[in-house]
Structure 1
Amino acid sequence: MTQIDGHGGDLALAALRSVGVDEMFTLSGGHVFPLYDAAKKAGVRIVDVRHEQSAVFAAEAVAKLQRRPGLAVLTAGPGVTNGVSGLTSAMFNGAPVVVLGGRAPQFRWGSGSLQEMDHLPIVQAVTKHAETIFATDEVYARLQAAALTALTPHRGPVFVDLPLEVVFSTADGVEATQAQPVPTLEPDPDEVRKAASMLGAAERPVIIAGSDVWAGDATAALREAAEALRIPVFANGMGRGSLPPDHPLAFARARKAAFGGADVIAVIGTPLDFRLGFGDFGGARVIHVTDAPSQKAGHVTPAAAPTGDLRLILSAFASHSGSVAGHEDWIETLRAAENKAKSKEAAALEADTDPIKPSRVYGELRKVLAEDAVTIGDGGDFVSYAGKYLEPARPGTWLDPGPYGCLGTGMGYAMGARITYPDRQICVLMGDGAAGFSLMDVESLARQDLPVVIVVGNNGIWGLEKHPMRMMYGYDVAADLQPGLRYDDVVKALGGAGETVEKPGDLAGALGRAFESGVPYLVNVLTDPEDAYPRSSNLA
């Protein structure tokens, strides 16, 4: 048995290091000084930000990319409340984030200490678990258990409060146990066989793979299942890239033909939410495969609903011993639809217009993004085009706000991605509206030598709101921004570099300079405000 001594910060960090934490995202505050002291002594990297939301978003990026806990440390009161959107994003996205909050001293509770407030009622609705630890000698065991909760499917954030006297006080001879393994949820074999038989017997089956396929390390099993059963695969979220774009069963553009013509659709590792028409695929029977009972859809009754470890379920699909219908005609039908859609898009990707069309931006990015580049979306219409035109070549390389749709994730996600991958391209795609939420944290990137490329689609409006409001009312309000703002000058002032692009022919050169710069570099592209993303999904 190993025993450790130290103050509450030492014990907290030791517990989190036992589950893989290797960095801390934070904005400085006196309530959490012992956690910084512990990190300095242990050689754990401290990355500080200009707004607490970026600390939590950075921790979320690490948690999603590395499939282990990401750590954010927030000081008491406004430090915690500023991080609530990040916690909520992690909850919606199933990211195992650990947030440690400072807290006013318990021995003086009720006397009006600085930033004295009970955080738990605020964060309980957007976390898997939230607690306050009142004894220093309990910090190690309870934090280790909280991290295990975050990692257990369905994954999600946890919040732990450490009162001032708990984190500053010392404890001797605390038992430092090994972290328990994440429990494996065994699926019901009968439900798995039922789903596999439905897929095997289907004439026109489709698989939709979501973020939990990546989070559950099930991408290889997904590929094996798709190949064994010969089923076309579409993906969303971090499921994108599970099959490379050139795989014969990988599809992206033929969704209308697939969802409208399929007789069985297996939705794996993603909710039946607005992104998938709330699970209404016309006449198709739906199989909903989830990693935990909490993820089962309550508004839809699937024909089969295996729940448990996604690797086990998908491996069982791959080993299905029953009959498998021939799907080659169906695959050829979808491939024809896919190729037709791509041929129509070719002109848009090369559009030589003034102002610049967002599609042309992505046409140029497709030429320069490496296969292992991490692409980050933070915005509305401009980022919707990214989802349409960019096809990740590898799994675990796409980060977007997910179903919560919170703007302001970009700079935090960029920090987490750059720390995860020091040598890859990191590219943030940002609308000019989203830029207003987090661009100040370019200073954090520049000061801490975290180079990324930021491409802003600058159309001077809130496009996701302006165009629909015009259609509904014949006018719009509260949907305009200052046109032509020099966001690149903001980045220069904060220690980075950048340039504004007004002509399509200048995009290639600007992107080349951005990726070669070695600093946070913003390419400010003035795009067409009349160009509206052709949105067809019902968001509510």
Structure 2
Amino acid sequence: MALAALKAAGVKEMFTLSGGHVFPLYDAAHQEGFPLYDVRHEQSAVFAAEAVAKLQRRPGVAVLTAGPGVTNGISGITSAFFNAAPVLVLGGRAPQFRWGAGSLQEIDHVPLVSSITKHAATVPSADAITAAVTEALSASLSGHRGPSFLDFPLDVMFGFGEGNVEAPKVGSWQADPEEVKKAAGLLAQAQRPAIIAGSDVYGANAVEALRALAEQFSVPVYANGMGRGVLPPEHRLAFSKSRRAALSDADVVAVIGTPLDFRLGFGDFGSAKVVHVVAEPRLRAGHVEAAASPAGDLTLTLQAMARYTGDQTGHEDWIAKLREAESAVAAKHAAEMEADSDPIKPARVYGELRKILAADAVTIGDGGDFVSYAGRYLEPAQPGTWLDPGPYGCLGTGMGYAMGARVTYPDRQICVLMGDGAAGFSLMDVESLVRQNLPVVIVVGNNGIWGLEKHPMQAMYGYDVAADLQPGLRYDEVVKALGGAGETVAKPGELAGAFERAFASGVPYLVNVLTDPADQYPRSANLA
């Protein structure tokens, strides 16, 4: 019954790690030929479901056994919560008839996950299963999307019942027309406007509406998260390298589909007026006094803003100024990406990757400084092709995201960019990729340190602790031992050939790049 409800919502696969509490779900999938992918750690199952949910804009499902199966998945659930991914986690649970007697893995999961889900409940009976799954999916898909959780007591999971299968009911908010008009007027009449488009623009399928709005008012667009690529890099309004210049001089900044968090300086844009466009009222930033903040379905809101008919100011001089700043930074980056330094600097890694990555390649970031450089040097050509941990900043997403991406796109390039610290969280799941014939390319920036911690500690204290890893570790040999392939690269001239071999291999292939531990990403964002 649970499987029937999932299929009615467009779910096409499950991700799991085998556990006896959830055997009936496996049996149903097996009997119906429903794809089931398994992993070596439950967090990877949830991250894989999150990747499917984000890339395909539909529910992704992870099935976790009771107790430690669920608690191992909590970081993945939290990531989905911060990233507005419609993930449904189905958990096992100790039996109701013996609750409190100390059954194996007996724990009440619901209080643990209630604060990081849109809906969390225990299914009380077999007859309630289909309605419970539909209700959870409806919550995940409505408004600002996010994860839901259901657990099934053992006696419910193995029981028999009846229920009607229905499609989820998806609800949304409608923005106040006056607030929409106010936001549009501020943007249209600004002298120096800028738009920042975030992940929700892609998640809400509002990409075309965002483009129409930007073109209607001729506003430069910057993006973060899965918003990257909402305008192709060659578009005259697409900007990425001059954001600091734009935000320091703009008079109106419209932030669309992303929170005013640490990544955006908490919304402090100097004297600029802030327009914050969000999917529902609870997402409005309480720490910023926005000049306008429409809250509602992003596609409808952006379309309504683009229909504004009031006065409009030209922005050609402003665009030209930003393009000049953009070009200056681009020239600097081009030189960095061609540098023949020894040891290799991350910039050169991305300079070579840019030459081989296809326009529709899915690029996955799992790391600190090394992945920050990816954000600087790689420019997604299409929306929905960039996956990173988002504002929660959880490491270990890489192999799960890779699995979800490969399941979604059997024929595209899938490239995981991983720091050597992040590799310690999930690299064992290369075995899961090998065993299930899911080839991906993994590029490890191996500098032998926790760079995101080591350099700041040295700056603050003059020393660092707990920030070193074993230098020169052969992560490629780990992947070979797990059935994949790989190689270590120590010279810049070896990168291009290694990447060509990796993408041609047809197996999980790890390129272990020994990078400069002294190279420090010039970070400006604060933790708080």
Q: 1:21 aligns with which of 5, 8, 11?
A: 11
Partner of 1:39: 29
Partner of 1:7: none
- Is the CA contact (8 Å cut-off) linking 1:260 and 1:282 kept in structure 2? yes
Which digits, 9 at most, give the CA deviation of each residue in 1:39-62, with x for residues without a partner?
112221000000000000000000
CA distance, structure 2, for counterparts of residue 502 and residue 285 of structure 1:
48
The 5 Å alignment of 1:140-539 reads: 140-172=130-162, 174-180=163-169, 182-539=170-527
Range 149-158 or range 262-271, more displaced: 149-158
- Classify the secondary structure of the residue corresponding to 2:209: helix
Quick check: 1:113 aligned with 2:100? no
CA distance, structure 1, for counterparts of residue 438 and residue 472 of structure 2:
27
1:179, CA displacement in angstroms? 3.3
In structure 1, what residue type is equivalent to 2:86? P
CA distance, structure 1, for counterparts of residue 108 and residue 135 of structure 2:
22
CA RMSD of aligned residues (A): 0.7
CA distance, structure 2, for counterparts of residue 405 and residue 58 of structure 1:
16
- Classify the secondary structure of the residue corresponding to 1:370: coil
Which digits, 9 at most, give the CA deviation of each residue in 1:116-168, with x for residues without a partner?
11111111121111100111001001111110100112111011010001011
CA distance, structure 2, for counterparts of residue 54 and residue 353 of structure 1:
35
CA distance, structure 1, for counterparts of residue 104 and residue 210 of structure 2:
52
- Classify the secondary structure of the residue corresponding to 1:492: helix
- Is the CA contact (8 Å cut-off) linking 1:275 and 1:539 kept in structure 2? no
In structure 1, what residue type is equivalent to 2:503? F
CA distance, structure 1, for counterparts of residue 480 and residue 17 of structure 2:
23
1:178, CA displacement in angstroms? 3.5
CA distance, structure 2, for counterparts of residue 506 and residue 422 of structure 1:
28
CA distance, structure 2, for counterparts of residue 126 and residue 44 of structure 1:
28
Quick check: 1:12 aligned with 2:5? no
- Classify the secondary structure of the residue corresponding to 1:343: helix
Partner of 2:82: 92
Partner of 1:8: none
Partner of 2:93: 103
Query: How many residues get paired?
Result: 528
1:466, CA displacement in angstroms? 0.2
In structure 2, what residue type is equivalent to 1:373? A
Which digits, 9 at most, give the CA deviation of each residue in 1:181-228, with x for residues without a partner?
x12321110000000011111000000000000011000000000001
CA distance, structure 2, for counterparts of residue 327 and residue 41 of structure 1:
61
Range 293-302 or range 511-520, more displaced: 293-302
- Is the CA contact (8 Å cut-off) linking 2:137 and 2:168 kept in structure 1? no
Q: 1:76 aligns with which of 59, 66, 88?
A: 66
CA distance, structure 2, for counterparts of residue 496 and residue 114 of structure 1:
36
- Classify the secondary structure of the residue corresponding to 1:226: helix
Which digits, 9 at most, give the CA deviation of each residue in 1:376-425, with x for residues without a partner?
00000000000000000000000000000000000000000000000000
1:292, CA displacement in angstroms? 1.0
- Classify the secondary structure of the residue corresponding to 1:234: strand
In structure 1, what residue type is equivalent to 2:141? L
In structure 2, what residue type is equivalent to 1:345? H
- Classify the secondary structure of the residue corresponding to 1:287: strand
The 5 Å alignment of 1:61-72 reads: 61-72=51-62
Partner of 2:38: 48
- Is the CA contact (8 Å cut-off) linking 1:154 and 1:294 kept in structure 2? no
Range 424-433 or range 106-115, more displaced: 106-115
- Classify the secondary structure of the residue corresponding to 1:288: strand
In structure 2, what residue type is equivalent to 1:282? G
- Is the CA contact (8 Å cut-off) linking 2:5 and 2:167 kept in structure 1? no
Q: TM-score, normalised by structure 1?
A: 0.97
Range 71-80 or range 184-193, more displaced: 184-193
- Is the CA contact (8 Å cut-off) linking 1:442 and 1:520 kept in structure 2? yes
Query: Any stretches of 5+ residues in structure 1 without a counterpart?
Result: 1-10
Q: 1:127 aligns with which of 110, 113, 117?
A: 117
In structure 2, what residue type is equivalent to 1:398? W
- Is the CA contact (8 Å cut-off) linking 2:134 and 2:166 kept in structure 1? no
CA distance, structure 1, for counterparts of residue 168 and residue 183 of structure 2:
35
Q: TM-score, normalised by structure 2?
A: 0.99
Query: Any stretches of 5+ residues in structure 2 without a counterpart?
Result: none
1:256, CA displacement in angstroms? 1.3
In structure 1, what residue type is equivalent to 2:168? A
Partner of 1:4: none
CA distance, structure 2, for counterparts of residue 22 and residue 42 of structure 1:
12
In structure 2, what residue type is equivalent to 1:131? A
CA distance, structure 1, for counterparts of residue 125 and residue 472 of structure 2:
55
Partner of 1:5: none
1:370, CA displacement in angstroms? 0.2
